[in-house]
Amino acid sequence: MSQQRLSRAELLQKLTETSQGTPMGRLLRTFWHPVSTADAVKPGKARPIRIMGEDLTLYRGESGKPYLVSGWCAHRLTRLHTGWVEGEEVRCIYHGWKYDGTGQCTQMPAEKPGLEKTVKITAYPVREYGGFVFAYLGEGNVPEFSLPRKEVIEKPDRMIFAREQKWPCNWLQKVENSLDAVHVSFVHQKGKIGPFGQAVTAALPDLEYVETDAGIRQIATRGPGNVRVSDWTFPNNNHIIVPSAFKEDTWLDLIIWMVPNDDHHTTRFQLYSVPNMDEGRNQRIAEHFRKYSSYNPTEHHDELFNDIYPEEPLFELTNAQDYVAAIGQGAIANRADERLGASDSGVALLRRLMIREMEAVNAGTSRKHWQPLKHAEELPIQGAA
């Protein structure tokens, strides 16, 4: 892949392609990604997942330990999650071949003993963190699980809520939206103005985007006392602070990973970290999460595109507003036809970093060693509450 030979449109197209062997797919596979909420796979159960175009089986052994192996049995290629878990292994529904968590076949009931040793399916390392199962789908040495760990996820005095939500659009659209502070002044004023839209106001921000050790720091200033800072971690994580569903409550930390399922679908893994308040408020917010946080705008597509917006502000309205803007761009936005302005400087910086890193990985030249920010846990948002 050479930048000289590719047009700008072709290069941007490359950023949207994440399947195995693509330049962006290779780059993304050098990072750990969340692949499932931890709750979505119970001990002794399996679930099918699709990450960057790869069909996989996530299962938990009866001990509760998670494993990630191929989505397909090696024999005659039926889906592995339709079988069942035995101990720490998974057995295929069709003819009973059994695999361990490293992908090694351990039994072929209808074949001569010993043949199983010759068959191994794909398997990837996993790890649980912040209410999610993360996986490393890359080649070679597995990197340390260090980005983007945050103190607000690990502090004992916080309530953590992990959610996942699949949208029918390319991952890059969602990541670009994270570096687009202007959208807040319009998207979150549409349909109904919730606490988020009110707090941030319709005023247009002065923008500053700075490359950091971890990614990009975004500073949007909408007048004195309304400075919104967010900490975006390379390549697909954003950390912001948002108002609670209840006006008098403390703001919440929201940390979102945008993980490609394939080039036309993206799962938003959302982690809400709620500072402890008094017991009554803690219970109230936990109940609110239980009641509303499974909302997925994908299931309300027709209503939303007919201007019918939900009421609940934290999970429904804000997500619905972002959904309409992102899905309105098409499954994969046609960047060849877009017209960027000066206010798109965050999107432009993001693309420059993506292209720089993508080309370095594919050329085998030296690339940036991203590392967590030293003081990332507190995002200053003065006067905006």
Q: What is the DSSP string of 248-308?
A: TSPPEEEEEEEEEEETTEEEEEEEEEEE---HHHHHHHHHHHHHHTT--GGGGHHHHHTT-
Length of the chain: 385
Question: Rounded to whole angstroms, how far apart are CA atoms 285 and 159?
Answer: 10
Binding string, residues 61-90; x marks residues near Fe ion by CB under 5 A: ------------------------------
- With beta carbons less than 8 A apart as the criterion, state whether 37 and 47 touch: no
Judged by CB under 6 A, the stretch of 71-79, 166-174, 289-297, 304-312 that binds ligand FES is: 71-79
- Among ligand FES, Fe ion, none, residue 78 binds (CB under 5-8 Å by kind): ligand FES
DSSP reduced 3-state for 174: helix
Question: Rounded to whole angstroms, how far apart are CA atoms 279 and 267?
Answer: 33
Answer for which of 176, 253, 322, 359 binds Fe ion (CB under 5 A) is 322
- Among ligand FES, Fe ion, none, residue 322 binds (CB under 5-8 Å by kind): Fe ion
DSSP reduced 3-state for 207: strand
Q: What is the DSSP string of 314-366?
A: IIIIHHHHHHHHHHTT-SS--GGG----GGGHHHHHHHHHHHHHHHHHHHT--
Question: Rounded to whole angstroms, how far apart are CA atoms 324 and 305?
Answer: 7
Question: Rounded to whole angstroms, how far apart are CA atoms 112 and 128?
Answer: 38
356 binds ligand FES, rule: CB under 6 A: no
Q: Which is nearer to ligand FES, 100 or 316 (CB)?
A: 100
**367: which DSSP letter?**
-
Judged by CB under 5 A, the stretch of 113-121, 209-217, 320-328, 363-371 that binds Fe ion is: 320-328
Judged by CB under 6 A, the stretch of 2-10, 91-99, 274-282, 351-359 that binds ligand FES is: 91-99
Answer for which of 97, 132, 234, 370 binds ligand FES (CB under 6 A) is 97
Judged by CB under 6 A, the stretch of 87-95, 125-133, 188-196, 368-376 that binds ligand FES is: 87-95
284 binds ligand FES, rule: CB under 6 A: no
Q: Which two tokens stand for residue 117?
A: 């040793």
Q: What is the DSSP string of 10-59?
A: HHHHHHH--STTSHHHHHHTTSEEEEEEGGGS-BT-EEEEEETTEEEEEE
95 binds ligand FES, rule: CB under 6 A: yes
Answer for which of 8, 76, 290, 352 binds ligand FES (CB under 6 A) is 76
Give the DSSP H/E element, type plus range, for residue 185. helix 184-187
Q: Which is nearer to ligand FES, 106 or 345 (CB)?
A: 106
84 binds ligand FES, rule: CB under 6 A: no
166 binds ligand FES, rule: CB under 6 A: no
Question: Rounded to whole angstroms, how far apart are CA atoms 181 and 249?
Answer: 24
- Could you tell me the smallest distance in angstroms from the CB atom of residue 301 to Fe ion? 17
Binding residues for Fe ion, rule CB under 5 A, total 1
Answer for which of 78, 104, 185, 345 binds ligand FES (CB under 6 A) is 78
Q: Which is nearer to ligand FES, 59 or 269 (CB)?
A: 59
- Could you tell me the smallest distance in angstroms from the CB atom of residue 146 to Fe ion? 27
- Could you tell me the smallest distance in angstroms from the CB atom of residue 200 to Fe ion? 10
Binding residues for ligand FES, rule CB under 6 A, total 9
- Among ligand FES, Fe ion, none, residue 123 binds (CB under 5-8 Å by kind): none
Q: Which is nearer to ligand FES, 96 or 275 (CB)?
A: 96
94 binds ligand FES, rule: CB under 6 A: yes
Question: Rounded to whole angstroms, how far apart are CA atoms 181 and 186?
Answer: 10
- With beta carbons less than 8 A apart as the criterion, state whether 217 and 210 touch: yes
75 binds ligand FES, rule: CB under 6 A: yes
59 binds ligand FES, rule: CB under 6 A: no
State CA 288 to chain mean position distance. 23
Q: What are the residues whose beta carbons fall under 8 Å from the beta carbon of 130, sequence distance 6 or more?
A: 153, 154, 160, 162, 255, 271
Residue 156 burial (10 A CB sphere; 0-12, 13-18, 19+): exposed
Judged by CB under 6 A, the stretch of 68-76, 132-140, 267-275, 345-353 that binds ligand FES is: 68-76
Q: Which positions lie near Fe ion, rule CB under 5 A?
A: 322
Q: Which positions lie near ligand FES, rule CB under 6 A?
A: 73, 75-76, 78, 92, 94-97
